[in-house]
Amino acid sequence: MLTHHKLRTSLSRQKHSVMLLLYTTWLSINTASAEPQNLPTNPAIPPAQQGVEWNNQGHALGQQGQYAEATALYQRALPLLQANDRRTQLNRAATLNNLGVALSHQQQLNAAAQAFSEAYTLRAHHLGSTAAPALLSQHNLAVTLSGLGQAQLACQHMQAALQGRTTTLGAADSDTQLSARLLQQIPNCTTL
């Protein structure tokens, strides 16, 4: 079972700034300790499990603000999370979302947008486009696109994320309200 931990950061772009709500995820096989470890490749450990362990190590580093180190572990994990089974694909999506978080903190917005886009696509395919994890990745993608100055595309994604969150989580949910506030900060973008 995936659990989510919130991490908030501000992402500035020209005259306005928007808040990026990012969730980092401990994956279903949680063997990471609070202290980062140097994990060697172990042929006795199935590749998907090794990928989960590297994701979890990246999460621990990200929680400590060590985003470059976390990025390296997420990138090391992704090639191991290639199997087509649902669980592996959902773990890949969570790792991609985590990678997007780390890249956003490093102002690598193009790469972050690619990671969030792939995470959203995988989550929408396996969970449905209105599932909370899919909506999270779509929200993150919208914020990142806004930071890149792609207001029209950011608006489309944020409107969809807001509509989905309103339906799935309810209008009073803090994530729904955050999407509503950020929608108002995207130039020429209005609430549906």
List, for residues 44-58, the tens digit of each pLDDT value.
788 899 999 999 999
Query: Which pTM value belongs to this model?
Result: 0.79
| SS3 state of residue 6 | strand
Give the separation between CA 37 and CA 164, rounded to whole angstroms: 38
pLDDT at 129 over 50: yes
Q: What is the DSSP letter of 16?
A: E
In this prediction, residue 105 carries a pLDDT of 95
157, 168 Cβ separation under 8 angstroms: no
Which own/partner contact pairs does 36-39 have at CB distance under 8 Å and 24+ positions apart? 36/60, 36/61, 36/64, 36/66, 36/69
SS3 content of the chain, % helix, strand, coil (to 5): 60, 10, 30
- Tell me the range of 33-37, 43-47, 82-86, 108-112 where mean pLDDT is highest: 108-112
Task: List, for residues 143-179, the tens digit of each pLDDT value.
Answer: 999 999 999 999 999 999 999 999 999 999 999 999 9
115, 96 Cβ separation under 8 angstroms: yes
Structure token digits, residue 128: 């449905």
Beta strands in 50-169 (DSSP E): none
Q: How confident is the model at residue 190 (pLDDT cuts 50, 70, 90)?
A: confident
